Amino acid sequence: MVLGMPATNDDYAAVSGDHNPIHLVNAMAVCGGLTRTITHGMYVSTAVRNLVQRLLDNSSGSTMRRYDVSFVGMVHAKDRLEVHVEHVAMCQGGKTLDIEVHKIDDGELVLVGKAHAKQTDSVYVFTSRGSQQTGMGMSLYESSRAAKDNWDRADKYFLETYGFVITQIVKNNPNELTVQFGGRKGKRIQKYYMDMVYRPRCPRVGGSTTKGMMFPQVDTDTTSYAFRCPTGQSEFSMCAVSPSKKAKFFTQTHLQLVVEITIYRVGFLRS
């Protein structure tokens, strides 16, 4: 991006009140050891900032939250400057930009700086049942520590509570899964299955509202329980979808891609 400096500094001096003669009178600038008048530093800084803001507006509509620059060279009237802006990092969902400004004529570096831009308002949508697919989230499991830790916590919970490893279901999508109830751990898992009940949400007129057992086949004498469905079933969908979405979100948070202020809608992201 190219930025041109004004032919004189009179207008900026009148508006800003900075009438330092090194900006306005060549003879005074020479007396001060300069070759000619120099452009106000604040003018250069503001002109560069406005250029960077226009770049952000055109690309993503982001807004500047912080802007820091240092002057490393002198800018004179009618100088043409080349402004380099590089996106170097993310911080709490905002972009961190490196800024360098050179004179076009001789390549002299005159200004360096950093800017932090706030992203536009974002909505993170976590889809529910129906979005599941075999292997979902497993690429992140291999590449992201945050995702792996999340899936490992899910595996530990489901194994200790319900007797299966959720990542194995995601990876293999089996038609049959058997949960064993042997030993002390197995008995504890068996009790979880026996304690799970349901109550009709919209019973028919005159119908029963009595809660029923979700797994009536499981009692204290049952040694195992097998989930079977050759054509597929969705009992495990939400068990897999929730940690998958959380793994993606935690990875984005770890990479500083999530905006600083986020409102969680209950039901969208389960903990």
Residues 146 and 187 in one domain: no
pLDDT (average), residues 131-147: 89
**Which residue has better confidence, 204 or 217?**
217
Residues 111 and 42 in one domain: yes
Lowest mean pLDDT among 62-71, 94-103, 214-223, 260-269: 260-269
Q: pLDDT band at residue 248, thresholds of 50, 70 and 90?
A: confident
Query: How far is residue 61 CA from its own chain's centroid?
Result: 16
Residue 185's nearest CA partner among 167, 168, 169, 164 is 164
Residues 137 and 268 in one domain: yes
Cβ atoms 190, 163 nearer than 8 A: no
Q: Which of 228, 243, 260 corresponds to the end of one domain?
A: 228
Q: How many domains does the chain fold into?
A: 3
Residue 119's nearest CA partner among 143, 97, 103, 86 is 97
Residues 198 and 243 in one domain: no
User: pLDDT by residue (tens digit) across 85-97?
Assistant: 999 988 877 889 9
Residue 154's nearest CA partner among 242, 268, 62 is 242
Grouping H, G, I as helix, E, B as strand and the rest as coil, residue 131 is coil
Residues 43 and 89 in one domain: yes
Is a pLDDT exceeding 90 seen at residue 238?
A: no
User: pLDDT by residue (tens digit) across 99-131?
Assistant: 999 999 999 999 999 999 887 777 777 777 667
Q: Which of 102, 118, 134 corresponds to the end of one domain?
A: 118
Q: Which of 94, 118, 142 corresponds to the end of one domain?
A: 118
What's the CATH number where 158 sits? Answer: 3.40.366.10
Residues 153 and 260 in one domain: yes
Residues 113 and 128 in one domain: no
Mean pLDDT score of the chain: 85
Which pLDDT belongs to residue 211?
Answer: 78
- For residue 97, what are its two tokens? 């930009």
CA-CA distance, 20 to 244, in Å (whole number)? 62
Model-level pTM? Answer: 0.60
- Four-CA torsion 271, 142, 226, 133, nearest 10 degrees: 80
Q: pLDDT band at residue 29, thresholds of 50, 70 and 90?
A: confident
Q: Supply the range of the domain harboring residue 161.
A: 122-175+230-271
Residues 154 and 204 in one domain: no
What's the CATH number where 20 sits? Answer: 3.10.129.10
Which pLDDT belongs to residue 25?
Answer: 85
Burial of residue 135 (number of CB atoms within 10 Å: 0-12, 13-18, 19+):
exposed
Residues 204 and 143 in one domain: no
Residues 185 and 56 in one domain: no
Residues 149 and 163 in one domain: yes
Q: Phi then psi for 60, rounded to 5 degrees?
A: -145, -5
Residues 221 and 248 in one domain: no
